[in-house]
Structure 1
Amino acid sequence: MDYLTRTYRVPKWITSIALFLFFLSLGITFVIFFEPMYHWSIGWFGVEKLTGYSADTLKMNYHELIGYLTNPLNDTLKMTDFPSSQQGLFHFFEVKRLFFVNFAVLLASGLISFFGVRYLRQRRQTWQLRRPIRWLVLIPVVVCFAIAAFFDTLFVKFHQVFFNNDAWMFDPKNDPIILALPEEFFMLCFAVVFTFLLVGLLGTNVAIKRLKEI
């Protein structure tokens, strides 16, 4: 057993990390494209009152924003009711780049996960994934608690890590779209992403357990 553990140490960790990245990027992709979550947030977080616009107007402008952020052929952001400053346009350009990095991670990690699991499955060694997955499960658990306890700090740190400038600090006078995207909405997005990750990892662990290879 020790010999087998050493033999499959690299494949099991590469596959486990790939699965982690796959479920993480899949959760992010889900949040990006699942616009009904924003539609519901309009009512939940009183966005109509914050902006002075109707729900239908907010939905249309959000759709335009997502269209820009997810379409590689669209290089100009134009929202019907929300003007943007040069700083705001630059920030959304950076967000767009991160979105496509996420899509690339989703594709790459999906392929690595598929071939990694197949490699271990053919050798009846998928059980070796269970221990690293159990350790990786701790990450979304901790992050979910952090989101609930001090999201403000986490939100600021996130921007400081992924953006090397202060273009993300919108002034509502110049970039009123920020009023339509309250912090509570981003908190919901983070919670959904890491819940997605947690469920994906736990589900994988259960599926592996049911294979009964040992």
Structure 2
Amino acid sequence: MKSSKPLSLLTALATAVLVLSGSIAVPILCRPFYYAHIEAMSMPEYTGLTVDQIKQAFDEMLDFCLGLRQDFSVGVLPWSESGRDHFADVRVLFQLDLVLLVLSAAALVLLFLFARKRRLTPARLLGRGPGFWAAAGLAAVFLAVGALAATDFDRAFVIFHSIFFPGKTNWIFDWRTDPIILLLPEDFFRNCAILILVLLVFWCAVLIAADLLAGRRRKRQAVPPACPGCSGGAGQGDACK
């Protein structure tokens, strides 16, 4: 089969996007992850709401952000126009992540089918496959981001909102007009960031390990078998005497 550098680059890019968008999607789609924080963070005690009311407020807010409902609602809680506008911005980001997740997965399937039909294989750049480079790039960037978040999460939180909500301040909530913010404490967002980072590191480790194992297997296959008639273990191409 013929090796292809463009195929390798496209595969690495699609793999990186799939791992990143998939890791981000987990805390978004896994509602039990949030539910586990409700009593652990004593939300009913300091909000005066029941566990069911907190779940309802979160579920309705998340349904709006995921595009599962068009009207904004947070259960029994009041909300302001400014607060709703922020969640409308969040809705765009959440849906963008899910679109990227689907498109990157579809791209990898199409690249596989295209390579199989044209009898192509991803070129190994500097001796490494596309999975290795996708993982190495993601790991380098997000370990740096993780280090910043670990040392100063408040600053990282502000930087994040400045990047993804440029020129806007409606992400700074007043709990008196938008009490939903009491149900989304900073510690919850910190745990979301930790979960995303753990998933990224895990999948990057899997991709790098898979590439290293594939490289070793390739080297073993490249070594010609010893000639059975030679006690000295001569290669197949050597003349047997």
Q: TM class by shorter-chain length? A: 0.7 to 0.9
Higher helix share: 1
Taking structure 2 as the reference length, the TM-score comes to 0.77
Q: Is 1:16 matched with 2:12?
A: yes
CA RMSD of aligned residues (A): 2.3
The corresponding residue for 2:43 is 47
Percent identity of equivalent pairs? 25
**Equivalent-residue separation in structure 1 for 2:212 and 2:109 (angstroms):** 18
Displacement of 1:142 in angstroms is 2.0
**Equivalent-residue separation in structure 1 for 2:218 and 2:105 (angstroms):** 23
Between 1:200-209 and 1:108-117, the stretch displaced more is 108-117
AA matched with 1:59: K
**Equivalent-residue separation in structure 2 for 1:12 and 1:156 (angstroms):** 36
8 A Cα contact 1:28 1:193, kept in partner: yes
Q: Greater RCO between the two (CA within 8 Å, min separation 6)?
A: 1
After TM superposition, list the pairs within 5 Å mapping 1:34-183 onto structure 2.
Answer: 34-72=30-68, 74-116=69-111, 119=115, 122-123=120-121, 125=123, 127-129=128-130, 130-131=132-133, 133-164=135-166, 165-183=168-186
Change (3 A) 1:100 1:132: closer
Displacement of 1:181 in angstroms is 0.4
**Equivalent-residue separation in structure 1 for 2:85 and 2:25 (angstroms):** 22
The alignment covers a number of residue pairs equal to 207
Q: Is 1:199 matched with 2:195?
A: no
Change (3 A) 1:168 1:16: same
Tell me, which stretches of 5 or more residues in structure 1 are unaligned? none
AA matched with 2:129: Q
AA matched with 2:70: D
Change (3 A) 1:132 1:21: closer
The corresponding residue for 1:31 is 27
Displacement of 1:46 in angstroms is 2.4
Displacement of 1:85 in angstroms is 0.1
**Equivalent-residue separation in structure 1 for 2:190 and 2:60 (angstroms):** 22
Tell me, which stretches of 5 or more residues in structure 2 are unaligned? 220-241
SS of the residue 2:129 aligns to: helix
